Structures are given as structure tokens and as C-alpha cells.
Amino acid sequence: MKNFQDEKQRDLLINKSDGTNKFLTTDQGVRINDDNNSLKAGERGPSLLEDFILREKITHFDHERIPERIVHARGSGAHGFFEVTNPIPELTKAGFLQEAGLKTPVFARFSTVAGSRGSTDLARDVRGFAVKFYTQEGIYDLVGNNIPVFFIQDASKFPDLIHAVKPEPHNEMPQAASAHDTFWDFISLMPESMHMIMWAMSDRAIPRSYRMMEGFGVHTFRLINEAGNSTFVKFHWKPKLGTHAVAWDEAQKISGKNPDFHREDLWEAIEMGNFPEWELGVQIIPEEDEHKYEFDLLDPTKLVPEELIPVTIVGRMVLNKNPDNFFAETEQIAFHPGHVVPGIDFSNDPLLQGRLFSYTDTQLSRLGSPNFHEIPINRSVAPVHNNQRDGHMRQEINKGRVSYHPNSLGGGCPYQAKIAEGGFASFNERVDAHKVRERSESFADHFGQAKLFFNSQTDVEKSHIVKALRFELGKVDTAAIRVRMLGLLSQIDMQLAERVSMGIGTQVPPILETPINHGVSPENEMGNQEPKTVESSVENSDALSMLKNPTNTPTIASRKVAIICSDGVSEASVKNMKDALLKEDAKGLVIAPHLGAVLTDEDGAIAADFSFLTASSVLFDAVYIPHGLGLTALAENDDVMEFLNDAYKHCKVIGANGEATAVLSAAPFASKISNDDAGLVLSGEIGTETFIQDFINAMSEHRFWEREKNLYK
């Protein structure tokens, strides 16, 4: 191969480009005037198909990776059913919501967003929450997240968001992490992201389990009834087990100990018969109330506070069967927010409008064929008859000579269905507006709901947000990015900004920086508007706090307890605890210095499930040290002390009785133990029923986060 004299000549040959001091253009070289807004019929109208800039950008983005998903690559799923508990025929004609007790098969997939298929389950990230309903009227996909809002307002910015959060292209680092310069550079220039950032920096981004997180449709949709009347709707999934998280230090350790933690948790719960369950709720907003609130229903960075519109439960989802083959089902399932049935329709949310194009395009790239709907996991249970033909990997064998409509040779079949016969018809919304690349002024509030979210958290939850921001921004090398972020945080809460500031060694700027201040063209960078704050009509919303929303019925179902044992352990203590846990659908697992048999005080033996080498407290929900004459020697075992120290630091329940209480006295945290720590269940007596019940009751509280006040004085 020819040797080139200089780097510039070689770069020209291989088409290197960094875009420095260059205009933004399409792939055809056409300069772009507005890269932030899709072309719409009016500032609040639907996006237009003729927007070649949006289509080119998203098409290229959708085809950037094969074969794994570009986003939501790391996921896990299960089969189940959806059952109607409160029919809503007055609101929608959707058949699967018409009759109490009616069950519809579903497949649900949960996922992280940023990481690749091989990344860890416990990354700080948004979680996907997608459900495919196999209804009698066709496939309906409710494709959302575990957070009710999103980073951006317009689909045009989605490729930019994901490019920013993915590993940096020059070195492919870091994997499945937002704690790096390019992500926070983007966020610091996009004030519309600040509400989502509050959620992403909260404990919602590190759930204890897929089974213990909420789900949301994110966008505003429409319900259409038989009369053709429309109401706006927001969808909510409420977990039966409550909404719980892990500690950030714990999440990082779980990633090292068991990167499949969430995947394994979902699989094992179903195998054990502890079927995950959620209630499906709706927030209904009458058509005439579209402009009633201080936020815009079409803005995907906003939510509707439950204090304004309560959530009405309409049904429940139960996942009761694991996939038979991960690739064939979980990996090949193809979701699409555009898969709707009669009675459900779209709003003009500009992020949703872009998704309606993007998902089919993505499946064409990822699954390699327009026939992805014929893969078994994607097949409709309703009959499919149309004139689509051929294509790669076609499975349907169509008979006859006719493959067009209208026709006479085939008797006009397949024929169109009238609306009364179940034919889908879009809501008859009037659209009369100029073609523009603009956003409505009602989208300009970027801080009001971010402030509402932060103000609604408990002190513990606020502290976790501060620590998360310190961690994330502490990983950012560029000082100017940290300054801009502190400026944005100061618009939410000055004390929040100052607390974060102390942890990253950067001063809160006296004036909020705008794109004009750092050299970006002022014309369109902020979506044609300066960011502002609109005070929410709701000052605090308890629904936004996990800790303010305990489960209605306390439960420890499917929780795991580490039972620390060594030779001489009380056999009765272990047996009584394991039996009691089993009655609560929980599980006790024996951890010992070695695998094999652990000798008991009754000359018997108990099999160790794990050794301290193969287990860690981060993989369990609580720790129990039973009575035993030989257990005091565990106080000199460094692995045991580390095990207990992590459990205490992560605010878990620790129980000990009899001589085992002496083990805790030797633990590193012994001097920090508070007399009012309800997460420590101690008794000098040997495994009484009262002690066991106290231990189970404490476990049902999940964590004792107040312990952190003593730990970090």
C-alpha cells in the first residue's frame, strides 16, 4: 500500500472529519438551519412526514448498530397475562379493556438504556418497561420506562442524547455509564433535561428489582370511545411489591459480584412461584382540559401530578412464565409505540411522533426483514390478512393470484373493515397551521417540575440525589461543564447546587450560563426559547417519593436472607428461621466459611449454600446470625466482618440472637450503632417466635435509610 507523506493527506483518503468550524449539514451536504425541532403543522401540531432532515437523521441513527438494540440492548423478559379489574368502556372501545375478568396474554421486557448486551444490570440508568398485549383486535404495545418523563422534548434530539451518553467514540469508554464528559456536556446545554436528571440521579435509577419498580407510558396518549370521543390519558404501572432501590455503593458492588442480578432475580422469582405483579392505572384528562394546567400535556419532560389527576386502576399484570429461549423470545421481540388497537390513539407529542417512525425502521435493521412480525414472539393472535408479500425470511404462505386492493378477481378480499366492524380510525383532530420548526412557548418551563420532584423527596432521598450528582460530575474532567451544571442545579434549588458544589470543588456560578455565553449560535439552540421556571400548582407530591409510598400490605415475598453459620450453630435456630421465611414466600440461604456440611449443636449437619468467597451481602436483602457456641469465632474472620459491614452500611436488616450478638460487637460499625436503629433485631434469647416475627416485620420495611445519619456524621 502506498505510503502517504503527511497525516492530512491520509485523513482525506479515509474521509476523516471532526466538524470543527463547519456548518451542520444533512448527509447530502445541505446546511441545516434548525437541528432541534422537527417540522410540524403548527407549534403544537403533528410532525410531518415530509421532514427529510428528521427522517435522514433518525434513519441513520436507527441503523448504527447490528444486531443488538442501539438502546435497551440489555434486557430481560417474561410471559404473563393482563386482567381487567375495572372496565372503562365509557372511555375506550379497546376490546381488552371492556370486561371485568377478561385476560389478555402479554410479554413484558425490562431493560437498561445506555449499556450494551454485555453490560451490568445495576448501572445507574433509566429502565425500559415495555409490554406487548396479544389482544383479539391485534397487537398493542405499551412501550415506556420506569420514569414518567424523558430528557428531551423533540425526537430530533434523540440521536444526540444517545450519542452523548454512549461510550465516547475515541476510546469506547465508559460502558453503561453517564458519568463522563460528553453526556454532561450535552445535558448542561439542554435545560429541558433537568427534570429527567432529577429522576435519573435519584434512587429510581438503581432499582432493587425489575419487580419493584414503577412503569410509565411517558407520553400523553388518547383513549377513543365508541362515540368517537377522545380523552387524554397517561399510563402507570404500580408494582405489588412496592417501589424499592439499592444503595449506590451496593449497586457498584453488585455489578462486580453478579452483573446478572436483575435478570436472575426475575427468573428465580417466577420459577419459585412468586409471580411479579403490577396494577395498570390511568390518569384521564378531558379533551376540554388540554390547556388547563401550567404545563403542556404534549411535553414529554413533564408529568401530571397525581394530586391534580389521581391514578385510576383498571387492571393487573401478572408474569408467570419464563421464556423457553432467551434469543427467540426476549431478544427477538419487537416493540413499537405505533402498535395500537382501536380505542387507543396518539397525541401530538413531538417525541412520540418521532418514535412512531423510528421503531419500525429500527426493527428492519435489527431483525433484518419487514417480516419481523412473523417471528413467533411477535405474532398477533388476531388473524392477519393483507397484501404484504415476500421479503427476507417470509414465513406466511399466501395462496391465490391476488395481492392488491381493490380487486375483483379475489372477490374484493381481503376487504376493508368499517369502524363499526372494528376498523381502526385515527381521531378526527383538526389540524390547521403553518409548517414550522418551532416549539410552543408552553414547552419553555425547564425547572418548575424539576423543583417539584426535588422538593417532594424525603431528606434521605435528597441526600442520595446530591451524592449521585457528586459522583457523576466528579467524573467530568472539563471544568466548564461542571460550572454550567451547577448553574442549572441552582435554578432548581440553591442548596442542592451548593451541596453538590462542595463535593466537586467547583463554585456555583452567580449567573446562569446560556448557549450564547459559551459560543453556540443563539438562533435555535434552546428550541427558539429561553428556559424559564413556572411554579407548579402542586408544591409537594408524595407520589414522586419512593419512601413516602410504602406498600399497602407489607411483604417480604421473594426476598433472600443470608444465614451466617459455622460449626456449632444452633440447628433449631436455623430451621425455625428458614421455615418462618418460607411461610412468607422468602428464602433463607446458609453462608459459611466453606462449602459442604456445617456441623450443628445437635450432632447434625446443615448444607452450606455459599461460602464467603462465593457470596456477598449485596446479593441478599437481610442477614441473620443464629445462636451457636462456635459462632463467636466468626468475629475474627475478616470476610464475615466485611459481609456484615456492607449489610449495615447499605441499611439492611441484621438479626442476631443468643451468643451471636457478640459477633456484632466486634464489627467495624459497632461504635456507630444507635439504640433506635429498628433495622437491628437483637435478642439474648435463642430464636424465639417473637424474635423471628420482629425480624420479618423489620424486613418488610425494606431498608432503614435513617441509619446513614449515624454512618456519615
Catalytic residues: 72, 145
Which residues are CB-neighbours of 135 under 8 A, at least 6 positions away? 94, 95, 96, 104, 341, 381, 382
Separation in Å, CA 117 to CA 69, 73, 77, 405:
8, 5, 14, 42
Cell of 93: 372501545
**Could you tell me the end-to-end alpha-carbon distance of the chain, in angstroms, rounded to an integer?**
66
> How far is it, in rounded angstroms, from Cα 591 to Cα 612?
6
Q: Nearest CA to 220 among 304, 278, 160, 120?
A: 304
> CB neighbours of 538 closer than 8 A, spacing ≥ 6?
305, 307, 308, 452
Structural contact between residues 117 and 74, judged by C-beta atoms closer than 8 angstroms: yes
Backbone angles phi and psi of 295, in degrees to 5: -115, 165
List the alpha helices (DSSP H) in 14-79.
Answer: 52-62
Of the candidates 431, 429, 427, the residue with the CA atom closest to the CA atom of residue 93:
427
Pairing of strands 653-657, 680-683: parallel
Q: Cell digits for 455?
A: 422538593
Q: Burial code of 450-486, b = ≥16 C-beta within 10 A, e = fewer?
A: bbbbbbbbeebbbbbbbbbbbbbbebbeeeebbbbbb
Read off the DSSP letter of residue 420: G
The type of residue at 213 is: M
Q: Is the dihedral of CA 465, 471, 474, 477 positive or negative?
A: negative
Q: In 210-304, which ranges are continuous DSSP H helix?
A: 248-257, 261-271
Residue in 214, 125, 217 with CA at minimum distance from that of residue 178: 125
Cα radius of gyration (the chain): 28
Q: Which string of DSSP letters, residue by residue, matches 171-183?
A: TTB-TT---SHHH
Listed residue (278, 279, 280, 273) closest to 320, CA to CA: 273
For 701, which DSSP code? T
**Helical axes 459-474 vs 248-257, angle rounded to 10°:** 60
